[in-house]
């Protein structure tokens, strides 16, 4: 029965992660967030397009998707499919990874989603909280110095597997967080190009009037 537990975790985590919070919040206000600003459905673009309350709501909800898939979903699956506690760490990893994939490639928007930073943070809070604390500190420092959300996210993502090595010394978790970091950096490829071209928007800069 264990294989059904793994499959159920992956499917449920993907569907949970695939809920396009930013798109739904913007749609409720009559805006297609994909046609505004960077076109991303994540919290940063919602901040710029709809303001602080909406941006904070999306940030929190996207983070909760990752946390719930990694921390709460495995317990539900264990009660339903197996009673072996040794399965929990693997279920947490499966739940976290598929929640991020669901957010980044949501089936509800033709598999075009966000960059997964907030959802990844929720996963890390459940999986490697001390690593999250380290990279969050790096994010804050880089953002405070540059005012670039993308640059701060890239720096934090690059640091993630090293932070995991320092705090966990688990090869499995190092590989998993390394894969998460690689995916996050890949999803920022357009931001990297804009940073190199000097056209990336700083957070807090005067936004253009919405059409």
> Domain limits of the chain?
2-197
What CA–CA distance (Å, rounded) separates 179 from 101?
Answer: 12
Q: Both ends of the chain: CA-CA distance in Å?
A: 53
118 and 164 in contact (C-beta within 8 Å)?
A: no
For residue 91, how many C-alpha atoms fall within 13 Å in the half-sphere facing its CB?
A: 29
Give the model's confidence band at 5: pLDDT under 50 very low, under 70 low, under 90 confident, else very high.
confident
CA distance 118 to 42: 8
**DSSP H helix total and E strand total for the chain:** 11, 0
Q: How many CB atoms lie within 10 A of CB 177?
A: 29
User: Which of 98, 73, 115, 77 has its CA nearest to residue 17?
Assistant: 98
DSSP 8-class letter at 70? I
What pLDDT digit, counting tens, does each position of 82-130 carry? Answer: 655 557 899 999 999 999 999 999 999 999 999 999 999 999 999 999 9
Does the structure show a pLDDT above 90 at 204? no
pLDDT above 70 as % of the chain: 94
CB atoms within 10 A of CB 47: 22
Least-confidence region, from 33-37, 50-54, 66-70, 83-87: 83-87
Structure tokens at 17: 């992660």
Six token digits for residue 85: 């506690």
Band of pLDDT at residue 63, cut at 50, 70 and 90: very high
What's the pLDDT score for residue 38?
Answer: 87
User: In angstroms, rounded to a whole number, what is the distance separating the alpha carbons of residues 125 and 69?
Assistant: 11
Rounding to the nearest 10 degrees, give the CA dihedral for residues 11, 127, 106, 27: 120
Query: Are 14 and 102 within 8 A, CB to CB?
Result: yes
């Amino acid at each position: 029965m264990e294989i059904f537990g793994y499959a159920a975790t992956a499917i449920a985590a993907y569907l949970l992660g695939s809920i396009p919070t930013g798109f739904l919040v913007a749609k409720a206000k009559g805006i297609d967030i994909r046609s505004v600003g960077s076109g991303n459905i994540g919290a940063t673009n919602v901040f710029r397009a709809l303001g602080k309350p909406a941006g904070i709501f999306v940030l929190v909800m996207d983070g909760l998707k990752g946390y719930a898939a990694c921390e709460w979903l495995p317990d539900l699956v264990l009660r339903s499919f197996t009673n072996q506690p040794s399965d929990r760490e693997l279920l947490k990893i499966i739940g976290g990874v598929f929640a991020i994939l669901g957010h980044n490639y949501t089936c509800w928007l033709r598999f075009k989603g966000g960059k997964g930073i907030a959802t990844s943070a929720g996963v890390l809070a459940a999986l490697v909280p001390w690593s999250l604390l380290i990279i969050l500190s790096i994010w804050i420092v880089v953002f405070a110095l540059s005012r670039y959300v993308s640059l701060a996210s890239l720096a934090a993502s690059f640091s993630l597997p090293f932070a995991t090595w320092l705090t966990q010394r688990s090869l499995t978790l190092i590989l998993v967080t390394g894969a998460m970091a690689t995916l996050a950096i890949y999803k920022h490829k357009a931001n990297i190009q804009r940073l190199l071209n000097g056209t990336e928007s700083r957070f807090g800069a005067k936004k253009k009037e919405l059409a």
